Amino acid sequence: MPRVTEAHRDARRAQIRAAALRAFTAKGYQRASISDVVAESGLSAGAIYGHYEGKRALFAAVAEEVLSRRGTELEAAARDGVPPSPVEVLTLLMGGMTRDIQDNRVIVQLWAESTVDDMIHDVVQEVVSAIQGVLHGALRAWYATRPDLCAGDPDAAAELLLPVMLGLAQGYLVQRAMLDDFDPDRYLRSAAAVLPR
């Protein structure tokens, strides 16, 4: 299999995903039509359908790409250097989201879609599980440096903190997407006040 062709194919697919993300971000996933993606990509409907089965598959692919990056980033940060504290982990995750997509309304739309579309559900399920795994590892590493806080059992401490860490991240994203007067710094100060440090 000629690798040039393969690379070209992947590049085109990436181009389509990028266009889809722009369209979904601008209009919202439900309201964005395939025509919007077409317009955004500079290609045609036929071209899109040649690479993705349809709008749902496109959303799944984009979601996989964006969410996976959070796991990758966190893993990298946890690997080299001092283990980040819970608040630093939260800040890192939220900063990454903001970097990838302007506002994060589309993330909330993704969650909603995952409650009703099986294809989306499966992708989100898988990637979020992966993120939880990485998150667990990061927290465990940090607790290991703070034996005073975990009674010598970093693993159990990380396990206990995990749902709240995920929940605080989700709360941040919901509020940022939904509330007119959301204040990111205030939210992080609030989180810092309750999280171990």
Q: By CB under 8 A, name the binding residues for a copy of itself.
A: 27-28, 30-31, 105, 108-109, 111-116, 121, 124-125, 128, 160-164, 166-172, 174-175, 177-180, 183, 186-187, 189-191, 193-196
Site membership for DNA, residue 47 (CB under 7 A): yes
Which ranges of the chain does DSSP label H, i.e. alpha helix? 3-27, 34-41, 45-51, 55-79, 86-100, 105-114, 118-144, 147-150, 154-178, 184-194
Helix axes 55-79, 105-114, angle to 10 degrees: 110
175: number of Cβ within 10 Å: 14
Q: Shortest approach of DNA to residue 65 CB, angstroms?
A: 19
SS3 call for 82: coil
With CB under 7 A as the contact rule, the residue among 56, 69, 105, 146 that binds DNA is 56
Are the CB atoms for 137 and 76 separated by under 8 Å?
Answer: no
Give the number of C-alpha atoms closer than 13 A to the C-alpha of residue 180, restricted to the C-beta side. 0
Which pair of structure tokens corresponds to residue 45?
């409907």
Least gap, CB of 5 to DNA (angstroms): 6
Q: With binding defined as CB under 7 A, does residue 43 bind DNA?
A: yes
Residue 58's Cβ-count burial label (10 Å; 0-12, 13-18, 19+) is buried
* Measured distance CA(162)–CA(173) in Å, rounded: 17
| Per-residue contact flags (x/-) with DNA for residues 117 to 156, judged by CB under 7 A | ----------------------------------------
Instruction: Report, in Å, the least distance between residue 9 CB and DNA.
Output: 5
| Nearest distance in Å: CB 164, a copy of itself | 4
Indicate which of DNA, a copy of itself, none lies near residue 4 (CB less than 5 to 8 Å, by partner kind). none
- Residue 35 or residue 125: which is nearer to a copy of itself going by CB? 125
Q: Which of 10, 44, 129, 186 binds DNA (CB under 7 A)?
A: 44
* Residues at the contact surface with DNA, assessed by CB under 7 A: 5, 9, 12, 31-35, 42-47, 49-51, 54-56
